[in-house]
């Protein structure tokens, strides 16, 4: 973490990990591997069946590399924890959220997902909750430091009435306000809710 590894270094790492069966955790946060490095890691995840934790926070990943990593999670059955927070996303379309929703609907191994500082809006949350409502494995969802407001909190609250797995939801440093907190409080107190901790509410 926080070295001077760039795209070429990420390519070497990805190549060496394709056939690796012993390394369980890879933390590259703070290394500016960029789009090229992100795509190399996504390609590696097609072959690697051992890695359980991947952390690429503040690595200058762009939309295409984020989407590539998310798509690989539809097929990869080993990763339990992924942190792709603080990428470089300039598009306001939130295409990655659509892919993330589709991934969550079918993924059965991911238990922890960090999506902090993604610039996510209520629209992105609405898209994300469609997949979350069908997910049965995710226990910890980190959505801190995004642009979620009361409307986004409403979509999350509706999702919590369907989801039977999520235990921790981090919404710290968002703008859900009293109204959003009210929606989530009702969902949390629902007898069917499995949520044990909600940060930022």
According to the model, what pLDDT value does residue 195 have? 87
What distance in Å separates the CA atoms of residue 110 and residue 126, rounded to the nearest whole number? Answer: 20
Number of domains in the chain: 1
pLDDT of residue 94: 93
Q: Is residue 13 part of a domain?
A: yes
Mean pLDDT across the stretch 150-168? 94
Q: Would you say residue 144 lies in a domain?
A: yes
Among 21-30, 58-67, 106-115, 190-199, name the one with the lowest average pLDDT: 190-199
For the segment 11-35, the average pLDDT, to the nearest whole number, is 96
Mean pLDDT calculated for residue range 190-194: 81
CA distances from 5 to 1, 46, 52, 145 (A): 9, 22, 21, 26
**Inside any domain, residue 2:** no
Cα angle 181, 175, 135; round to 5: 65
Of 34-38, 45-49, 158-162, 188-192, the one with minimum mean pLDDT is: 188-192
Mean pLDDT calculated for residue range 73-92:
93
- The set of residues, in sequence order, having a beta carbon less than 8 Å from that of 59 and lying 6+ positions away, is 28, 29, 30, 31, 32, 33, 34, 37, 38, 87
State the chain's mean pLDDT as an integer. 95
Whether the pLDDT of residue 163 is over 80: the answer is yes
Q: What's the pTM value of the predicted model, to 2 decimals?
A: 0.95
What CA–CA distance (Å, rounded) separates 136 from 158? Answer: 16
Query: Domain containing 101: what range?
Result: 7-199
Alpha helices in the chain (DSSP H): 7-17, 34-44, 63-72, 95-106, 122-132, 150-160, 177-188
Look at residue 194 and tell me if it is in a domain: yes
**Does 164 score more than 90 pLDDT?**
no
Rounded to whole angstroms, the Cα distance separating 116 from 85 reads 5
pLDDT the model gives residue 201: 66
198 vs 98, more confident: 98
The rounded distance, in Å, linking the Cα atoms of 47 and 144 is 31
Q: Per the domain annotation, does 53 fall within a domain?
A: yes
Give 74's pLDDT tier (boundaries 50, 70, 90): very high
Phi, psi (deg, nearest 5) at residue 148: -80, 130
Distance (Å, whole) CA 176 – CA 67:
27
Query: Which positions ≥6 away from 12 have C-beta within 8 Å?
Result: none
What pLDDT shows up at residue 191? 78
Q: Tell me whether residue 159 is in a domain.
A: yes
Model pLDDT, residue 11: 97
pLDDT beyond 90 at 24: yes
1 within some domain: no
User: Where residue 176 sits, what CATH number does that domain have?
Assistant: 3.80.10.10
Flag whether 116 is in a domain: yes
């Amino acid at each position: 973490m926080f070295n001077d590894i760039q795209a070429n270094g990420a390519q070497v790492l990805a190549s060496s990990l394709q056939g690796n069966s012993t390394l369980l955790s890879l933390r590259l946060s703070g290394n500016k591997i960029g789009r090229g490095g992100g795509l190399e890691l996504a390609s590696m995840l097609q072959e690697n069946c051992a890695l359980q934790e991947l952390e690429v926070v503040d690595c200058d990943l762009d939309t295409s590399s984020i989407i590539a990593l998310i798509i690989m999670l539809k097929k990869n059955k080993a990763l339990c924890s992924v942190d792709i927070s603080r990428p470089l996303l300039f598009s306001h379309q939130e295409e990655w959220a659509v892919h993330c929703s589709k991934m969550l609907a079918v993924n059965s191994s991911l238990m922890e997902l960090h999506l902090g500082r993604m610039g996510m809006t209520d629209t992105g949350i609405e898209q994300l909750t469609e997949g979350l409502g069908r997910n049965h494995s995710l226990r910890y969802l980190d959505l801190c430091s995004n642009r979620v407001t009361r409307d986004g909190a409403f979509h999350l609250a509706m999702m919590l009435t369907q989801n039977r797995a999520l235990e921790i939801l981090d919404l710290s440093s968002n703008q859900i306000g009293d109204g959003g907190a009210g929606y989530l409080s009702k969902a949390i107190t629902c007898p069917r809710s499995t949520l044990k901790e909600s940060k930022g509410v």
